Structure 1
Amino acid sequence: MPYGLVMGASGDIGQAICYAMAADGWSLYCHYHHNQEKVLSLVSDLRQRYPQQDFFVVSLNMLEESAISDFVNQLFQVDGVIFASGFTVYNLLPEVTSQQMDSLWQIHMKTPLLLLQQLQAKLAQSGRGRVIFISSVYGQHGSSMETVYSAVKGAQEAFVRAYSKEVVTLGITVNAIAPGAVNTQMNQNWSTSEKESLAADIPLGRMAEPLEVAAACNYLCSKEASYTTGTTLVVAGGWMN
């Protein structure tokens, strides 16, 4: 039975990924930092649905490097890791603080890389390890008012291309998924007119649902995706093509 670590399981996309992977036979470590109740509820539901699989709640503040080793030591088997944690800062570049820049870099890039340094041996044990970053179309096309976020998302995709070459002989595939606009809590403060204007710019005429991003993740985690590595799978409804 494969075991996966989903970083950011408390988010809408992370939660959808957990449900999709569990349905495909994965046991899971469901990570959170702030939203403990949401992840406890998620894990309780997964245990009821799939009693033959294992589901654990794990916590890590991704801004605390000193906690990473202890976090990794509690994971006894890891066949796949999905980095779905993240946040953005909406502001013009001169208004973005140094602390915000550091946090964006730490959560989207540095901590995932530090985790992978310690998880690589575990990921290699099965010969079919999976590493997936939930990136963004902004990593490829950029977004004004989100310049630093766009930069770290682009860095994730560059890392995927490089790291995939390092670990290919270990049977580990490394890929990214670049969603476009997704119907999550992050955009619940948008007005109806703002959502309608955005939908009008998307060829498919709507935002993605978290389960559609999770389906792409499920494919990249599957045995059938063993020949897919170093790529970014865009899930954006034709937006920004």
Structure 2
Amino acid sequence: MSNEQQTGRSVLVTGGNRGIGLAIAKSFLANGDKVAITYRSGDVPEGLLGVKADVTDAASLDAAFTEVEAAHGPVEVVVANAGITRDTLLLRMSEDDFTDVVDTNLGGAFRVIKRASKGMIRLRKGRVVLISSVVGLYGSPGQINYAASKSGLVGMARSLTRELGSRGITANVVAPGFVNTDMTSELPEDTQKSYLASIPAGRFAEPEEVANVVRWIASDEAAYISGAVIPVDGGLGMGH
């Protein structure tokens, strides 16, 4: 495979201005790709094309894609990373707590891949990477909404693989464990300690460790991997 295919691609990462999303965006940028991110608020880091978008709104996403396509060409790699949490135990979980999380994390991924697939089908190539979580298959008390949304991504990637696999398009899931981000650092200290005790690696991941796997699964080297769930969790999930 020539280097031209590996670099200079049009890449879009949703929720890409902080945390894992930002690390993923920077990883593709360092690889020589043209990288755009969607974001809702805050700043856009240098070197990235920022487009405001709400993944719960198809029209807003369509406008964002149109802007990216005009600047960088058709999106060849899409990383559905935007996500929210509304953690609370089942009996206290409201209808809105459930539907908001599912509509953002699962519905958002659906809207993103639907819009991205149009260009990929025309190109007869593409990489779809859905950012799930170890919690999606492992489960977690207080996260019925979040875990359901994240496990749903597995069915989405596998169905997409069956639909578009013959057109040079792969769809995979990357499932991080606990990662050193703002989201994790807000957890109570006792909770963090109990999580650490259950991770064989004995530490949380750095965002870059997740980003490197995402960049690789989107590369030509991984052209024959599709419908896979790749854990980046220090051994926490082990087969879940």
TM-score when normalising by structure 1:
0.89
Query: Post-superposition, which runs of at least 4 consecutive aligned residues in structure 1 deviate over 6 A?
Result: none
Q: For 1:16, give the aligned amino acid.
A: A
Which residue pairs with 1:49 in the alignment?
none
1:17-46: CA deviation from partner (whole Å, max 9, x where unpaired): 0111111121011110122x2x2xx1x2x3
Separation of aligned partners in 1, 2:178 and 2:116:
31
Which residue pairs with 2:131 in the alignment?
134
- Conserved in 1, the CA contact under 8 Å of 2:80 and 2:131? yes
Which residue pairs with 1:52 in the alignment?
none
Three-state SS of the structure 2 residue aligned to 1:178 is strand
1:117-170: CA deviation from partner (whole Å, max 9, x where unpaired): 222121234433000011011111111110111011110111111111101111
Give the total of aligned pairs: 227
Of 117, 122, 131, 2:114 maps to 117
Q: 1:22 aligned to 2:29? A: yes
Separation of aligned partners in 1, 2:182 and 2:84:
12
- Conserved in 2, the CA contact under 8 Å of 1:135 and 1:156? yes
Which residue pairs with 2:158 in the alignment?
161
- CA-based RMSD of the aligned residues comes to 1.5
Which residue pairs with 2:14 in the alignment?
7
Three-state SS of the structure 2 residue aligned to 1:75 is helix
Of 81, 84, 87, 2:81 maps to 84
- Conserved in 1, the CA contact under 8 Å of 2:130 and 2:172? yes
Give the unaligned 5+ runs of structure 1. Answer: 47-54
Separation of aligned partners in 2, 1:126 and 1:64:
25
Three-state SS of the structure 2 residue aligned to 1:234 is strand
TM-score when normalising by structure 2:
0.89
- Conserved in 2, the CA contact under 8 Å of 1:11 and 1:85? no
Three-state SS of the structure 2 residue aligned to 1:140 is helix
Q: 1:71 aligned to 2:64? A: yes
Q: 1:60 aligned to 2:60? A: no
Which residue pairs with 2:3 in the alignment?
none
Query: In structure 2, do the counterparts of structure 1 residues 116 and 191 end up closer, same or farther at CA, with 3 Å as the change threshold?
Result: closer
Query: In structure 2, do the counterparts of structure 1 residues 64 and 200 end up closer, same or farther at CA, with 3 Å as the change threshold?
Result: same
Q: For 1:75, give the aligned amino acid.
A: V
Q: 1:233 aligned to 2:230? A: yes
Three-state SS of the structure 1 residue aligned to 2:128 is strand
- Conserved in 2, the CA contact under 8 Å of 1:72 and 1:115? no
